[in-house]
Chains A and B, each alone.
Chain A
Amino acid sequence: GAVVSQHPSWVICKSGTSVKIECRSLDFQATTMFWYRQFPKQSLMLMATSNEGSKATYEQGVEKDKFLINHASLTLSTLTVTSAHPEDSSFYICSARGAGGTWGSPLHFGNGTRLTVT
């Protein structure tokens, strides 16, 4: 159980375009999902917390107008990178706590999306 699916696995886009990444909880409902960004050989940096039915909570330094998060249902959160630039190239990973997950319980990660902006 607790499978998180992320799509696409990789995407190449041109500078100035927007890219949407989907994160789905397949066998459980996730009221909260988390979006992380990871540069090569570095740690995971929390970008934002996605809350079903309400606005996302962004970490300090993350531009909310550039990284649009929508959590329209209990099983789907989307991250849209708007007007992408080469410096946005990175590995983006979503995660969620499993069914019945409580405060501080472990995360289940999607497979990640490798974004390359040319």
Chain B
Amino acid sequence: GQQVMQIPQYQHVQEGEDFTTYCNSSTTLSNIQWYKQRPGGHPVFLIQLVKSGEVKKQKRLTFQFGEAKKNSSLHITATQTTDVGTYFCAGALMDSSYKLIFGSGTRLLVRP
């Protein structure tokens, strides 16, 4: 079945350092979405990428969608303690199933 892998599983950084998480799908995606889940909370939508090679920025966060629409990355510049949480990518399948397949997530901890 379709799989979405995400690395690393876990990263612990010093506040001010950069952070990147990578997402790779076994199949071509219609679009990819990124969500953030704080400890004890529910996933919150961050952004959606649709076009091949698309790059979007939200303040210190930069999102990229690969040319083949099978991989994506999220880069955070100069992390802050408020960035703590688990970041999930979620791939929307090319068929009409309306399903999102979530990646395994990357848990980010930031040392103040």
- A, B: real partners: yes
Enumerate chain A interface residues (CB-CB to B < 8 A). 32, 34, 36, 41-46, 49, 60, 93, 97, 103-112
Name 12 A/B residue pairs within 8 A (Cβ), A-sorted.
A34-B99, A34-B100, A41-B107, A43-B88, A45-B102, A49-B98, A103-B92, A107-B43, A109-B43, A111-B41, A111-B42, A112-B41
Chain A residues positioned under 8 Å from B100 (CB to CB): 34, 46, 107
User: Could you tell me which B residues sit within 8 Å of A by CB distance?
Assistant: 1, 30-31, 33, 41-45, 48, 88, 90, 92, 96-105, 107
Q: A44, B92: Cβ atoms under 8 Å?
A: no
Measured between alpha carbons, how far is A32 from B96 in the docked complex, in Å? 13
**A109/B33 contact (C-beta < 8 A), A43-B88, A43-B104, A46-B99 known:** no
Given contacts A103-B98, A104-B31, A106-B33, whether A93 and B42 have CB atoms under 8 Å apart is yes
A46 close to B107 (CB less than 8 A): no
Shortest Cβ-Cβ A-B pairs, 4 listed:
A104-B92, A109-B42, A106-B45, A44-B102
Query: Which residues does chain B contribute within 8 Å of A32, judged by CB atoms?
Result: 98
Instruction: Indicate whether A109 sits within 8 Å of B44 (C-beta atoms), given known contacts A44-B102, A46-B99, A49-B98.
Output: yes
A45 to B99, CA, bound (A): 11
CB neighbours of B102 from chain A (8 A): 36, 43-46
Please give, as numbers and ranges, the residues of chain A lying within 8 Å of B101 by CB-CB distance. Answer: 46
B12 → A minimal CB distance (Å):
14
